[in-house]
Amino acid sequence: MSPLRYKLCLDLCMKKICKVLLSSLFFYSVAVAEPTMDGYLIRSNYILTMAKGSAEPLDGYIQFSKEGLIVDIVKGEPSETLGGTVIDARGKIIMPGFVSGHNHLWQRAFRGLASDQELYGWLKSLHWTFGDFFQDGDMYNFTLYGALDQLANGITTTLNHSQNVAPTYDQYIEQFEAEMAAGQHFIFSYVLDENEPSPAIRKSKLLSLIDDTSRRPGPHACLGFGLHGTGIYRGMDFHREEVNLAKELDLDMQIHYLEEKAESLRNGQKKFESMAEKGGLWDGLVYAHFIHATDEILETSAKAGVKMIWNPLSNGRLASGLADIPRYLSAGLEIGMGVDGSASGDVCDPFQNMRMGMYALRMKDSNAAVMSSIDILRMHTLKTAQVLEVDDRVGSLEQGKFADFLIIQPAAPVFDPYSTIVLATSANDIESVWVRGQKMVESGKYSNHDMVAIKREVARRVARIVSDQAGNN
């Protein structure tokens, strides 16, 4: 897939408007001239860059500019001539912010529902019970709440797999506006508007959003767009429309596939042949969940370059099953991780997500070597960024990338910092969360948002929805 899919340019050429709109997605101020050198220096003896091939923790410092770009990562003590504000984080662990590759941020307002239900019983209790009662502003507030919760848990980049649960398109698009306001890096996974009468109109609405985003002043939080494919549940003609549009615009398309066991065995596996027709499998297709895969489905998908996002917390909560990750990796499938919806996993905690996944694999095989701490930490950072194709900017601490990182105060003496993070750290141990060189959260308090007021507003709106739904019965 072309890296141009995610970058903004200022020149909108009318000759090939679709391609240019897609290549103009990120005006970020990445196009700054030279980074200003008097930014910040962070000194730590436990810098985990998570860069490819890097395993040894670095005892040194990170230098990043006022524009929020990493200028250098160097072993040893910084020179006094470098200038900038020095942050002494010795004894603390510095790591890249987590990347979550599959999320429904608005669901944060509806945790704890249907605790004894599997996927479809849970969907009935939330989407099909309350969706019709959403009003203007609900999706905005719920999504903002979810994005900020992810930030406090150390997730600095997310793919928002948006959902058209609310009654109107304007209410749907509030999810995008909330993410722009939150300050968390995000990719917006867009649902084509099935209510429109033609593919051309559906396409034009997506292009309008992309164009509008390209014209907004930078820097801003959007890292790009993808498609949330729903056609495999709505009809294969709609699915092929999605596939063709994704390819035309050079977008990735993510779909829920082979998640709930009974549905997977009854229908999901049988749909694979139709899905694979006419180039339906390509390196821009990403499966969310992908638990109940046959050998043929796995091998054919991996050969085509299809990727996957693993969601252990959600899969456990909904009794969906355990994806055979070692088998998938052996087949050559590229895998990232996600915390899924905050109502299907209930907490958007990447530390718990890693532990849930790694422990389940170890229990299944009675083998502690099946997944190491560094491997699963890399899977929830750099590997997920690679699946989402934003690893040129996020996912690891490397020169030229955004200064998206966490400062973590270990709760106990550190023997192996990777294992400390995976086995013995929680979100409560995060001292601060930084996005593009800006401190977004410190000791659980937000720099740019009043979380107390946001929670109050969310509670008011949820109470109204519940009341309206009850009054309708």
pLDDT by position in tens, the chain (length 473): 433 343 333 233 323 333 333 333 332 323 333 444 578 999 999 999 999 999 999 999 999 999 999 999 999 999 888 888 999 999 999 999 999 999 999 999 999 999 999 999 999 999 999 999 999 999 999 999 999 999 999 999 999 999 999 999 999 999 999 999 999 999 999 999 999 999 999 999 999 999 999 999 888 999 999 999 999 999 999 999 999 999 999 999 999 999 999 999 999 999 999 999 999 999 999 999 999 999 999 999 999 999 999 999 999 999 999 999 999 999 999 999 999 988 899 999 999 999 999 999 999 999 999 999 999 999 999 999 999 999 999 999 999 999 999 999 999 999 999 999 999 999 999 999 999 999 999 999 999 999 999 999 999 999 999 999 999 98
What pLDDT does 37 receive?
55
Task: Indicate if the alpha-carbon torsion angle 368, 369, 371, 373 is positive or negative.
Answer: positive
The Cα–Cα gap between 191 and 127 comes to 16
- Domains of the chain (ranges, CATH numbers): 40-95+402-442 (2.30.40.10), 98-388 (3.20.20.140)
What pLDDT does 328 receive?
98
What pLDDT does 8 receive?
35
What pLDDT does 21 receive?
36
Buried b (16+ CB within 10 A) or exposed e, 149-162: bbbbbbbbbbbbbb
The Cα–Cα gap between 221 and 167 comes to 26
Residue 118 DSSP SS3: coil
Q: Model-level pTM?
A: 0.93
The Cα–Cα gap between 195 and 321 comes to 34
Residue 462 DSSP SS3: helix
Amino acid at 248: E
List C-alpha distances in Å: 446 to 93, 262, 271, 442, 452: 21, 42, 45, 7, 10
Q: Which residue do the tokens 């040194």 mark?
A: 60
| 40-47 and 58-64 strand pairing | antiparallel
What pLDDT does 81 receive?
82
What pLDDT does 133 receive?
98
The Cα–Cα gap between 322 and 259 comes to 10
Within 13 Å and on the Cβ side, how many CA atoms surround 352? 17
The helix-helix angle for 199-215 and 169-182 (nearest 10°) equals 30
List C-alpha distances in Å: 176 to 169, 183, 285: 12, 12, 22
The Cα–Cα gap between 59 and 76 comes to 6
